[in-house]
Chain A
Amino acid sequence: MNTLKLVVVSAGLSQPSSTRLLADRLAEATRQSLGDAGRPVDVRVVELRDLATDVANNMVTGFPSAALREALEAITEADGVIAVTPIFTASYSGLFKSFFDVIDNTALTGKPVLIAATGGTARHSLALEHAVRPLFGYLRAIVVPTAVYAASEDWGTAGDDRTDGLASRITRAAEELAGLMGGRAATTEPAETVVPFEQQLAALRSA
């Protein structure tokens, strides 16, 4: 069986960052779940902090630098993506949004994506549902049902009667992602197709 490709996008800014911490936990859980199913996986982490200037330059010039291009290509070729952002001002961070603004709008079509976020308080957890999920909906990605939000307090509590703890939410989301990735046929480069000119002309005439 082919080795699957998992790309983890982390938009954390501090170092070390809790966003990266969450991203790594999710990646590891996904790797384990796929491993249990006998599917090896390559994990590649894209730290947006390292690409912050490149993303801004792409906005200005319309093309990506070599480093950014390489990251964009890795995501385009991935079998699954884990996207983790800190919640700033009630939504995804600007850097996170900018990165997904410069990626080709078909790059994530049909791709399994696990969304996750970190924040100082659990009160912003629905930002994943009202901001991050629609972003990937627009990109026609397949977003797994469980979105993982880690507030500061989650790192020190085990959940309660009404809420699963962070660890079990991570496992559940990772299993959902692994399930979708495992079921995917190997990613193939879509062939460049040209619509023959006669056909383009004919389409105009018949309209």
Chain B
Amino acid sequence: MQFGIFTVGDVTTDPTNGRTPTEHERIKAMVAIALKAEEVGLDVFATGEHHNPPFVPSSPTTTLGHIAARTERIVLSTSTTLITTNDPVKIAEDYAMLQHLADGRVDLMMGRGNTGPVYPWFGQDIRQGIPLAIENYALLHKLWREDVVDWQGRFRTPLQGFTSTPRPLDGVPPFVWHGSIRSPEIAEQAAYYGDGFFANHIFWPKEHFQKLINLYRERYAHYGHGTPEQAIVGLGGQVFMRKNSQDAVREFRPYFDNAPVYGHGPSLEEFTKETPLTVGSPQEVIDKTLTFRETFGDYQRQLILVDHAGLPLKTVLEQLDLLGEEVVPVLRKEFAAGRPADVPDAPTHASLVAARDTETVTADLPA
């Protein structure tokens, strides 16, 4: 099981002192957070992609390439890569390049984006969101698996005899997750390809996501990739911790009350009851996270949001210390206990290369 963090990359005023970081400070903070995530033993760092203020991460492969050069072990990912408005050819090239530079420590999560005007800004029609996600990904999938591609689709210039370079590292494309918070079509898409499905359930009650994940698991089995329990599921999470639960609540409340997305709405207490948000001691975070398995089944990747709503960098780094020292080691042990042996881990470059080689060997054996 993998544990990591995902960042939205928002530039938000700290409500406790009115200070707003500059874009430069926020970008550097993202890097510092990623380096710290590796230092404390987390497995994944994922960055969002946005094309409007107050968000800074418009260029994920630049960010991740820089982080790749300064880390050794952590897997670099996205949350999400806009499959609707990016040219799939450019995604194929950029992420294959990143995959080489990072020696395979790369996967990515496809998403449709949630900012309406991004579609017209990039020459697309938001009403075509799902068809764009389907067609663009079909092309991306092909570009990484076929050396010479002829292509004609509805949304982009046709390709004749096109080769996307560099070719994926060791001939094995980066693993892909598909993120969705409401569309069964995307769960179906992930299942069809045998890709991962990531449900960022941090803002909504769990019942809604149970349906979506169950659908993905069923269809994953339908397409012959394994049993429903072997489908590759990722979940979001959101925490704020202090040793003492009351201290966590007191310190986080102004950030919660003024947060973009859910601020000025329900109380912290109501929101923590209805959603995965946990504000309290490390033990409370452990307890809440373990309930995810009861709700959704054994899963492969847990990403946690720790650096938004104007929290200062120093505080975020302290959160990572707590995650690395007190939370994740316990979660690793607890999640491993009782996990059926045939439930796979999240695919990595090494495991995908090994799987490919096994298949090749099996195929070569005389019948």
Contact surface of A with B, Cβ cutoff 8 Å: 56-57, 59-63, 65-66, 69, 192, 194-198, 200-201, 203-205, 207
Contact = CB atoms under 8 A, between A and B. Distances in A.
Contact of B188 (A63, A196, A203): A196
Interface stretch (B42-50, B103-111, B266-274): B266-274
B134 A60 contact: no
A194 B185 CA distance: 7
Nearest to B270: A65
Smallest CB-CB A-B distances: 4 pairs: A60-B265, A197-B192, A57-B266, A63-B204
Contacts of B162: none
A99 B263 CA distance: 20
A59 to B, nearest CB: 8
A194 B204 CA distance: 22
A200 B274 contact: no
B184 interface: yes
B205 interface: yes
A63 B262 CA distance: 10
B203 A63 contact: yes
Contacts of B266: 57, 60-61, 65
B219 interface: yes
A60 B271 CA distance: 12
B333 interface: no
Contact of B219 (A62, A66, A194): A194
B300 interface: no
A25 B47 CA distance: 57
Contacts of A59: 265
A57 B273 CA distance: 14
10 contacts: A60-B265, A61-B271, A62-B203, A192-B184, A194-B188, A200-B134, A200-B189, A204-B153, A204-B154, A207-B154
Contacts of B219: 194
Interface in B192-248: 192, 203-205, 208, 211, 215, 219
B135 interface: yes
B117 interface: no
B262 A60 contact: yes
Interface in B316-364: none
B138 interface: yes
Interface of B: 130-131, 134-135, 138, 153-154, 184-185, 188-189, 191-192, 203-205, 208, 211, 215, 219, 261-266, 270-271, 274
A65, A200, A201, most chain B CB atoms within 10 A: A200
Contact of B131 (A56, A194, A204): A204
Contacts of A203: 131
Nearest to A200: B134
A66 B191 CA distance: 31
B228 to A, nearest CB: 14
B135 A204 contact: yes
B37 to A, nearest CB: 28
Given A60-B262, A60-B263, 7 more contacts: A57-B270, A65-B270, A192-B211, A197-B188, A197-B189, A197-B192, A200-B130
A31 B264 CA distance: 42
Contacts of B189: 197, 200
Given A201-B138, A204-B135, A66 B274 contact: yes
A192 B215 contact: yes
Contacts of A207: 154
A195 B204 contact: no
Contacts of A204: 131, 134-135, 153-154
B279 to A, nearest CB: 16
Given A197-B188, A197-B189, A204-B135, A60 B215 contact: no
Contacts of B184: 192, 194
A195 B138 CA distance: 16
A61 B203 contact: yes
Contact of A62 (B134, B153, B204): B204
A56 B267 CA distance: 12
Contacts of B153: 204-205
Nearest to A203: B131
Contacts of B264: 60
Contacts of A57: 265-266, 270
Contacts of B131: 203-204
A57 B131 CA distance: 32
A178 B125 CA distance: 44
A204 B134 CA distance: 9
Nearest to A63: B204
B274 A65 contact: yes
Contacts of A201: 134-135, 138
Nearest to B208: A63
